Structures are given as structure tokens and as C-alpha cells.
Amino acid sequence: MSADTTQIPDPARPNVLVILADDMGYSDVGCYGGEIGTPHIDGLADRGVRLTNFYNTARCSPSRASLLTGLHPHQTGVAELVNNDGPAGYPGSLTERCATLAEAFRAAGYRTHMTGKWHLSNEREQPDGTWPTRRGFDRFWGTISGAGSYFQTTTLHDGEIPIPLSELGEDFYYTDEIGSHAAGAIRDAAAHGQPFFGYVAFTAPHWPLHAKDEDLANTRGRFDEGWDVLRTRRHRRQIAAGICAENATLDDRDPAVIAWDDEPEQKWQLQRMEVYAAQVQAMDRAVGRILAALDDTGQRDNTIVVFLSDNGGCAEELSSDPESAQRFRRHHLIIPPRAPDGTPMRVGNTPEIRPGTADTYTSYGRAWANLSNTPFRLYKRWVHEGGISTPLIVSWPNGGFSGGVLDAPHQLTDIAPTLFEATEVQPLAERNGRTLPSLPGVSMLDVLRGGQAVEHDLFWEHIGNAAIRVGRWKLVHEYGSPWELYDLASDRSERNDLAGEYPDRVQDLAARWQDWADAVGVLPYNQVLVARARMPRQPA
């Protein structure tokens, strides 16, 4: 678009652009210690701030629900994934009792657009009231379901119109297309002279491991020293960058992971990580394309850009067993994968299946996820630090941010209040005649500008895993296990359980967690499991 046809939006109203990675660990991007090349994301950090103690909700759908509504996921109907476990369980789709950021910004006169993965509806075929086009987005281009091929992308829609595979073209790669469509939406908003709220939800680097040859060429050999050496080096870079304190411990290698020197399939393991890294690099390239659209339209300085990940690194191993694969697809509402010629993909993590090509469906596994989550333990689905810690980068050159690295603890429910305060947009008090709950989070705007953080308790629950953080103290447990207590000021890697030394503190924090759980509608996980068992099976 030529400069003479572009109207610069009112400078008094900042744009908002939220960029979400999928299943990317805490330390993968360069500015959080990783060796994967991410110059565009790192550049956002150079012009903004990085938070070291920011948290998601441990899994993709709940994190998206919380990010887009400012509520805890249990208040939105999407507390696990998009399975309908009602009426005794969670409905698995956004309820009418919450409003999205897009709905609030559109009511305030913003243009709204979304590109990428939705994953907030258990209706993936026909539009209903839970699709992005029915929840505040003027423009949507992307996928409804949770995962799929990067080359043969199914459930792809332009608005509410399905896009057949025959129209994708030979060079189609989903991550690149997300970047191109997001950049186009930014240029269109500028042409209309309106501020915009944009939401870019990548599927990268979520499995399946699919990468373009040119991206793989840039990652080959980068991980040859193996996960043990690389975890130590990432941690050293984190300490040097101020991401971790000088006295920060590095969690021991996952006990289920063998030493790199003892790994019998090093070549295959390296291939897995190289494809994963290529997916991250492709996402960074797409981010660069989006940022270029901001620069070209003169909107970069007055756009609040937020970058984060929906959960920690993913340790899931994909099975080639047909029954296991069917259960997995049903649980994630994934259309059975097919190769470009229509035959079933080769599914599973075995050395016989080289990852990366369009006819494979694999993941990078527990050992590399352990590297991704440096210096923490555990993974996506857990609410220990490895499952919920995310890089958070916020850039707004006109916003007076202090720059650098900030340690104040915050979580997803704090993003909406921050954006509303920064833009002076009001959250919706009602939707379709229903009074909406007040937002539980606090604004981070003052702390991003170098001010004092607002102390507030942080809470999590996911599939029975539970946690509360109050200041330096974190109480956490895995479903069916006792509470553990950690002093995160000296033990962010959760190595030294202090529950036995401080029983009164454990009791106090557990009571606070239960009060929160009752207030936001957390269902006992055994009840959810019973409800799911009674539901009729959905087609695979």
C-alpha cells in the first residue's frame, strides 16, 4: 500500500497487538537464554521490557480463554480443553458469561482482527456463538481446532467460510501465512484510519514437527552438544541477562531422561530438536513481517505489542498405536492427519520416522522439552514452574516503559487490566443482557513504566494440579499428591520442598487457594473425570 493512501490512526489511541506462541518453553527465544535464532522477537525485548515471573495457565485452551477475557479459565467454560463435559463438567467452549478483549475494543471503536489458532470452541465445523467472528473479531483468518499439519492445514477458515485444501497452494506453510494475513490486517486498519486490536495466535512450535527445508538448513548442527551441555549454557546466559538471579539453581535433568552421552539415537533426537527450532525460527520470521507492517504504516511507536507463550514446553510423546492415537485426537478435537496424497500420516515418535516432512506427525519429546523449560522442572499441563512460566515481552515505544528486565510476579489475568488502562478502553460490564464478572487481575502498566508492583495472590488449577503464589512463597501439588511449598526467591526451580518445615504456612495458603477455587467455580477433578466418562464419545 502506498504511503499517500494510508491514514495514520489517531495517535491518542494506541493500537494493541497480542502475539501468542504455542507450546514454546521459557528459554527457547534468544532473549530468554536460547540458542535458537529469534532476532525479531529479541528486538521487541530491546525496545520494551521482559518479565521473568510471568505465568500462563499450563495449557493452550485455558490460557487462550484467560488471555482473551481477563478471567480465570474456569469462569469462561474452558478450564481444560474444548471437550464438552457438561453439565457436570466444563462445557469446553466460551460461555455467554464472559466478554473477549475484541468485544470490548470493538465497542470502543477499534478495528479487530485475529489470525491463527482459536481452540476455544468444541464446534469445529459449523460457526456458532463461540467462534471468533461471533466473539468480537471483525476479521478472522485461521484454524478453529487445536493442532494439525503446517502444510495441509485443515479447519482453516476465512471468516466463517472454510478454505479447502485445494486452494492452499504448493508453497503453503501455516506459520508464514499467519504472518502475512496479520500484516495485511494491520495495513487495512491503517488505511481506514482506525486504531486496531490484533490477536496473532501461532500454532508454532506445537507438534506436529513440520518445517521448510530452508529453515531446517539454519538449525542443523546447532544442538549437536546435546541437552545436558545446552541446558547449562542456557542457564548461564539467563543469569548473565538478569533472567535468573545469581543464586538461581538449575533443576537437575528430568529423572526420566537419560544423559546425552548415553542416548543411543542421537541422530534422530537431533533431528527432532532441529525441526522444533526451525518452527520457532519461522515464527520469528513471521513476527518480523508483522512488525514491518507496523513500521511501514507509521504505527510501531504507538502500538502496544505483547508476546508470550500459552504454556511451557510439551513433553507429550505421540504414539503410533491406533487406539492411543484415536483417543489423543478425540481429546484434542484434531481431524485425523493425512499426508498430501490423502493417505494417513506416519504418526509416532520412533527413529524410523524422520520428523519434519508433510507425511509425518511427530513431537520433540520430554528431553528437549526439559531443555526448553530451563531452568525449571515439569512441563505443559503441570502448574509447577516448567508448566506455567512464560517469556513475556511488552513493547510500546510511546508508552514510557522503563526497559530492561522486571521480576514482578504476574499472570494472564493481569493482561486485560493493563491493556484497558493503557488505552482507556472500558471493559464490558454486560453482554447480551448478562452482567459479567469483574476482572480479577491488576494492571501492570505502572510497573512496566518503572513503578511499584501491586502485590496480589496468583492462582492456578488445571486437571487437578493446583498452585497459589503469594509473594515469594508458592504452594503447589500434582493431582492426587500432597502439597509442596517452595521459596521462589531462592529456589525458583522448586528443588527444596519446605512443606514439612512450615505446616502453618501450608495450611494458610491451602485455605486461600480453596477460597479462590470456590469463588471462580473450580470443579473437583474427580467430578470432571466422572462426567467425562458418562459423556457419549465424539467421532474421532
Name the phi and psi angles at 531, rounded to 5. -60, -40
Catalytic annotation on 410?
no
Catalytic annotation on 119?
yes
Among the options 60, 98, 244, 314, which is catalytic?
Answer: 60
Tell me the C-alpha distance between 206 and 214, whole Å: 19
Residues sharing a CB contact under 8 Å with residue 390, sequence separation 6 or more, in sequence order: 26, 54, 55, 56, 308, 309, 310, 311, 312
Among the options 40, 74, 113, 119, which is catalytic?
Answer: 119
Residues sharing a CB contact under 8 Å with residue 385, sequence separation 6 or more, in sequence order: 373, 376, 377, 378, 488, 492, 493, 494
In DSSP notation, 325-351 reads HHHHHHHHT-PPPB-TTSSBPEES--T
Q: Which of 119, 161, 155 is nearest to 139 (CA)?
A: 161
Looking up cell 546447532 gives 222
Is 475:481 a contact under the CB 8 Å cutoff? no
C-alpha cell at 168: 492452499
Residues sharing a CB contact under 8 Å with residue 148, sequence separation 6 or more, in sequence order: 154, 155, 203, 208, 334, 335, 337
Name the phi and psi angles at 280, rounded to 5. -65, -40
Name the phi and psi angles at 476, rounded to 5. -150, 145
Cis peptide bond prior to 503, omega within 30° of 0: no
Name the phi and psi angles at 159, rounded to 5. 70, -120
CB atoms within 10 A of CB 165: 15
Q: Is 227 exposed, middle or buried (0-12, 13-18, 19+ CB in 10 A)?
A: buried
Instruction: Find the radius of gyration of the CA atoms of the chain.
Output: 22
What residues are annotated to the active site? 60, 119
